[in-house]
Amino acid sequence: MPFAEKLSSEPLAEKNSCWRRIGVWGDKSCPELAEQVHCANCPVFAEAGRSFFDRDAPEDYLREWAGVLAQASAPHEETVSALVFRLGPQWLALPAAGVVSVSELRPVHRLPHRSGKIFSGLVNIAGELQLAFNLHALLELPVEAPLHLSLSAQIYPRLVLCRREQAAFAFLADEVYGAAALVLAQMQTGPSESNSLATFSRGQFAFKRRTLRLLDDELLAHALARNIATGFYS
């Protein structure tokens, strides 16, 4: 039994394994729990975690690293860090500087006589009420999209909250990929799905074999603010 032999050399920290005996996974009798609340906050636990690394590296692991680190870093180029998301069939990007949070879906409360095609209503994000907009409508994009466009194994619609100066706005994205650095030099112009998409985008990028359009956040915020204003005073 070579495996059993290999495991017989247990590290000292593991032998202690207090979290299993008296911690939250044990009988919860550890006096430290009163202060730390959870073993994950406890220095003993952290120490055990660190001591885990006092072991031989798995085979090939270090060699893999050597390959990664050896690669010459790309020449310094002007990039823009952006949140990449999808509205219907179109992948879009918003400069990350203006993105406040990406969260799970929450119910949007319609405002009588205010909610319209573009302004959906109010939504509660982290305890604050935010204006929610329908970017699909603004950019004239359909909601349905072919599956092969997706970048994730599991597709979750998300609520994206952006802030531009004092004005914040939230919108629903059909899928959020995450942050990506877009090399501005690679930006191209190209045909767009709709006129308004062309209006609000600065240009397009090839991104993971899909076409991605970088949105002009300033223009977008301005358009949304104007929509609200006309909505309120009309």
Residue 128 in the binding site for another protein (CB under 8 A): no
**Residues belonging to the chain:** 234
The least CB distance from residue 204 to another protein, in Å, is 30
Q: Pick between residue 53 and residue 233 the one whose CB is nearest to another protein.
A: 53
* Least distance (Å) between residue 30 CB and another protein: 15
**C-beta pairs of 135-138 under 8 Å, 24+ apart in sequence:** 135/87, 135/171, 135/172, 135/173, 136/87, 136/88, 136/172, 138/196, 138/200, 138/220, 138/223, 138/224, 138/227
Q: Which of 208, 215, 232, 227 is nearest to 173 (CA)?
A: 215
| Footprint (CB under 8 A) of another protein, residues 54-93 | 54-58, 61-63, 65-66, 69-73
At 220, give phi and psi (nearest 5°): -60, -50
Interaction of residue 9 with another protein, rule CB under 8 A: no
17 in contact with another protein (CB under 8 A): yes
Cβ nearer to another protein, comparing 72 with 147 = 72
Tokens 């885990």: give the residue: 52
Stretch of 12-20, 136-144, 178-186, 222-230 lying at the interface with another protein (CB under 8 A): 12-20
**Site mask for another protein (CB under 8 A), range 21-40, x = bound:** ----x--------------x
Q: Quote the CA–CA distance of 154 and 149 in Å, as a whole number.
A: 12
Report whether 80 contacts 200 (CB < 8 A).
no
What are the backbone angles phi and psi of residue 69, rounded to the nearest 5°?
A: -75, -25
Site for another protein, rule CB under 8 A:
1, 3-4, 7, 10, 13-14, 17, 19-20, 25, 40-41, 45-46, 48-58, 61-63, 65-66, 69-73
